[in-house]
Structure formats: structure tokens, C-alpha cells
């Protein structure tokens, strides 16, 4: 046995200071503006196919994951995956897609449903164009110049060889 009070300032763990309303279950069905935060190719557990694992984040920082089949022994699964990937490609505004990195940071709208009787999970039903304006990245802010200050010089790259003697 282990005494847990030593990890909680000498008091038993009772949930004080813990947000009990925080949910890690599926998001309610509906449309969500999301940003694609990761897209990587993975091999299936069976080792006989590949898929793109998309990780998307909502405005409220909730994460949604979806797998898009690239290759599979089932031609139908491969066809569905490629159709879904093409929907994502169109939604992010790309003419062609050659690298998953081209998807990172793109804003789209996804329509989610909730499936599963016991183990409820989100299912991406559709991918549509630009996410709502609330998800649009803010424009870069240029700080105001100090009165009488010289104009800013453009940044120059550092010399290839450091000439400092230490």
C-alpha cells in the first residue's frame, strides 16, 4: 500500500480543486469549426494497409481524431477513405495533395455524429470549407512605433561562421 497523503500536502485526495464538469466523452452531434493539428500516415494493426490519422481541435480546445484509409485489402474501404480524403482536400482549398503536412493548420468545418451503443465515439460525417470566422487565425499585429524612433530595419540572417573569439 502507498500513503497518498504525501503527494497532497498531507491530506487525503478528495477532489478539491478538480473540475468535475470536464468531459472527455464524445462531443455532441453537430457542426464544429476545427483546425487540423496533426496528420500522419500509419500502418494498420493488421499490417496490411495504411491510413492517415487526422487530429483536429475545436475552438474550445477539444480534440477529435479521424482515420482516413489510404490502402486496405477491401477495395470498398480504400474507395471510401480516398473519397473522404478528397473531401478534406477540397475543404482546405488545395488543388492537389501530396504531403500530409499540407493539411496542418488548415481550418475546416466537420459534421460530427455520435455512434456506438456502449463505447460512444464521434464519427466525422462531412468535411466542408473554411471554418467559422471565430476560428480564423488573427492577423499579425504590428506594434506602434515610438515617437521619434528610427524605422525598423529588416531582419538579417546570422553569418554562417560566428566570428566571436569565445
Q: Distances from the Cα of 69 to the Cαs of 41, 43, 45, 80, 149, in angstroms?
A: 10, 10, 13, 7, 57
For residue 126, the tally of other CB atoms under 10 A from its CB is 14
Residue 56, classified by CB atoms within 10 Å of its CB into exposed (0-12), middle (13-18) or buried (19+), is buried
Residue 136 has pLDDT above 80, yes or no: no
Per-residue confidence (pLDDT) for residue 54, from 0 to 100: 92
Helix, strand or coil for residue 135? Answer: helix
pLDDT at 53 over 80: yes
Length of the chain: 166
Residue 152: pLDDT band with limits 50, 70, 90: low
Per-residue pLDDT band at 116 (split at 50, 70, 90): confident
**Confidence bin at 158 (pLDDT 50/70/90):** low
101 φψ region: left (φ > 0), alpha (ψ -120 to 50), beta (else): alpha
Give the CA dihedral 77, 79, 81, 85, nearest 10 degrees: 180
- 152 three-state secondary structure: coil
What local confidence, expressed as pLDDT, does residue 156 receive?
53
**Domains annotated on the chain, with CATH:** 26-135 (2.40.50)
Better pLDDT: 82 or 139: 82
Amino acid at each position: 500500500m502507498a500513503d497518498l497523503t504525501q503527494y497532497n500536502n498531507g491530506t487525503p485526495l478528495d477532489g478539491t480543486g478538480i473540475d468535475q464538469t470536464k468531459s472527455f466523452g464524445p462531443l455532441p452531434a453537430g457542426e464544429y469549426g476545427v483546425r487540423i493539428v496533426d496528420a500522419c500516415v500509419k500502418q494498420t494493426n493488421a499490417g496490411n494497409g495504411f491510413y492517415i490519422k487526422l487530429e483536429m481541435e475545436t475552438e474550445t480546445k477539444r480534440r477529435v481524431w479521424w482515420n482516413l484509409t489510404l490502402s486496405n485489402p477491401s477495395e470498398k474501404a480504400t474507395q471510401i477513405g480516398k473519397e473522404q480524403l478528397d473531401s478534406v482536400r477540397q475543404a482546405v482549398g488545395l488543388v492537389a495533395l501530396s504531403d500530409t503536412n499540407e493539411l496542418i493548420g488548415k481550418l475546416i468545418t466537420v459534421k460530427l455524429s455520435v455512434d456506438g451503443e456502449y463505447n460512444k465515439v464521434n464519427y466525422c460525417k462531412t468535411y466542408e470549407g473554411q471554418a467559422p470566422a471565430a476560428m480564423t487565425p488573427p492577423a499579425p499585429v504590428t506594434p506602434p512605433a515610438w515617437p521619434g524612433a528610427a524605422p525598423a530595419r529588416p531582419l538579417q540572417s546570422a553569418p554562417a561562421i560566428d566570428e566571436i573569439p569565445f
